[in-house]
């Protein structure tokens, strides 16, 4: 107790930190208040609390713009994100396991190719990619988007997994080998569960990238019923240019699932980022 005395300086420091934290909350404040004000009020007094909060705006936003309802967009976003992340984890972890354990020159070359894939900007190849996808009938549907994201984010995924596998002691795999397990059992029962921390990292990182991505769904999904949330929200801007309350309500709706996920999974997330494996 004696170690820490609460003084004026401590108090000031705390206030300063609270003020800083509040600064971070400001956008959320504006977002939520504006989304329940009449649209004129949003311009005249952006910082004021709404006089008569109107949740009906949310209902209207949910109905969506001409391009389909927000509910449909939410569904698309969920399907594409979850599908891609699952494919990334399944393929990325097994690919990285082979790359890391195969070692030698072939392993290193493959690894290098993946690293190169992180560095090169995919936008350069977008036109031929679009043409190819179009011919294969992969434009304007879920399968195409999942394939697209799985491919584009595979380098990052393999990179993260490989680093982790390389640091993982081989003992467990050797023990499993001697215990009579085949390659499949070793990977699925022993290695993959030990990769949990990095699997968490991969899921969050790629999940956020895909969830928030605007460009690819705009190119590959516009004009279809499968547009994702960011595109759907953007179409509000075109249609209701002056109605910021509607737009903000749509933004709030699109943030909500991510926020909920973070709140629910907070503890696991922190553990997966911070934790190694403890024998």
Contact residues: another protein, CB under 8 A: 169, 171-172, 174-182, 185, 189-190, 193-194, 196, 277-279
Shortest distance, position 274 Cβ to another protein, whole Å: 17
Cβ proximity to another protein: between 46 and 169 the closer is 169
When the beta carbons of 194 and 209 are compared against another protein, the nearer one is 194
Q: How far is the CB of 108 from another protein (least distance, A)?
A: 15
| SS3 category, 42 | helix
Of 117 and 185, nearer to another protein (C-beta) is: 185
* Of 272, 270, 243, 269, residue with least CA distance to 36: 243
Q: Provide, rounded to whole angstroms, the least separation between the CB of residue 196 and another protein.
A: 8
Closest approach of another protein to the CB of residue 200, in Å: 14
Which of 93, 254 has the CB closer to another protein? Answer: 93
The least distance separating another protein from the CB of residue 111, rounded to whole angstroms, comes to: 20
Comparing C-alpha atoms, which of 34, 144, 31, 157 is closest to residue 86? 157
SS3 210: helix
Nearer to another protein, 134 or 271 (CB): 271
Hunting for tokens 């600064």 — which residue is that? 23
Q: Tell me which residue has tokens 């649209």.
A: 39
H-state helical runs in 45-186: 56-63, 70-102, 104-119, 126-135, 142-167, 171-178, 183-185
Q: Which helix (H) or strand (E) holds 273?
A: helix 244-274
């Amino acid at each position: 107790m004696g170690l820490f005395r609460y003084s004026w300086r401590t108090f000031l420091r705390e206030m300063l930190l609270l003020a800083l934290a509040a600064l971070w909350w400001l956008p959320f404040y504006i977002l939520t208040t504006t989304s329940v004000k009449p649209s004129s009020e949003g311009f005249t007094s952006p910082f004021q609390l709404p006089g008569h909060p109107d949740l009906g705006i949310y209902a209207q936003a949910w109905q969506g713009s001409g391009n389909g309802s927000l509910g449909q967009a939410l569904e698309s976003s969920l399907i594409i994100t979850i599908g891609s992340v699952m494919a990334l984890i399944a393929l990325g972890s097994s690919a990285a396991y082979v790359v890391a354990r195969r070692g030698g020159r072939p392993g290193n070359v493959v690894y290098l190719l993946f690293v190169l894939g992180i560095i090169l900007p995919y936008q350069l190849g977008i036109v031929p990619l679009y043409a190819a996808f179009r011919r294969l009938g992969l434009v304007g549907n879920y399968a195409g988007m999942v394939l697209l994201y799985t491919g584009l984010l595979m380098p990052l995924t393999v990179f993260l997994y490989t680093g982790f596998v390389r640091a993982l002691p081989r003992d467990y795999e050797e023990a499993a080998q001697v215990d009579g397990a085949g390659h499949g059992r070793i990977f699925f029962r022993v290695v993959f569960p030990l990769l949990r921390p990095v699997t968490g990292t991969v899921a969050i990182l790629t999940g956020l990238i895909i969830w928030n991505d605007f460009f690819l769904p705009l190119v590959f999904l516009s004009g279809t019923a499968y547009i994702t949330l960011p595109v759907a929200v953007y179409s509000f801007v075109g249609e209701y240019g002056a109605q910021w309350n509607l737009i903000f309500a749509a933004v709030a709706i699109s943030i909500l699932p991510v926020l909920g996920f973070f709140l629910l999974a907070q503890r696991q997330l922190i553990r997966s980022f911070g934790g190694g494996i403890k024998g």
